[in-house]
Amino acid sequence: MENNIIKTKNSESENKRMATTSLLLISFVCLLVFLHMQTNQNQTNYNKKNVELILERYEEVKQTDLSNELHAKIFDIVQTRRDCFASQVTYDARNNTCRKEYTLSIFQLARENIKSAPMLGLFIRCIRECPIAGSLCTGEEGTNEDQCIDMEARCIEFCLDKYWRGGEYADGHSYTENKNAR
């Protein structure tokens, strides 16, 4: 009889162990499924957010006025980039030559003509997205090539306004002759 009691206790403890193990395994699987779904949902929202930000920036760029002093030079830089992209077939060639030259040309133009303390990292990131404004313009009905070059130039002006102009050097000199003339 004592053996039967011991066997019953062992059987009960094994049942409890199996139930606990099964419960833990099911909980773990549910957690993995939940985390997987949550990760995919966050990724989807992130991509939508980037597209929305680009479209919002495009609308802001449309409202940006071109400066008289830099308009012709920026227009030439944009036209040079477009010509370079047209002549380069591969992404690597475009990235290694065209985009670098484009970024460097805008950077040099800003350094020569605007006297302020820029936020360089944000500025460079911003101007690298300006060809997107030209491409979005191309997709709009009723636009021509010159209008889209103008739109990309507006994007460069937008980036200059947002991340380069308006800052001051430590000695108080502000960024343009017009602002200094006040």
pLDDT score, position 166: 66
- pLDDT surpassing 50 at residue 173: no
pLDDT score, position 169: 43
Q: By three-state DSSP, how is residue 167 classified?
A: coil
| Domain ranges (residues) in the chain | 64-180
Mean pLDDT of 63-82: 91
Mean pLDDT of the chain: 80
Give this prediction's pTM: 0.65
Mean pLDDT of 90-99: 89
Angle between helices 71-87 and 100-113 (to 10 degrees): 170
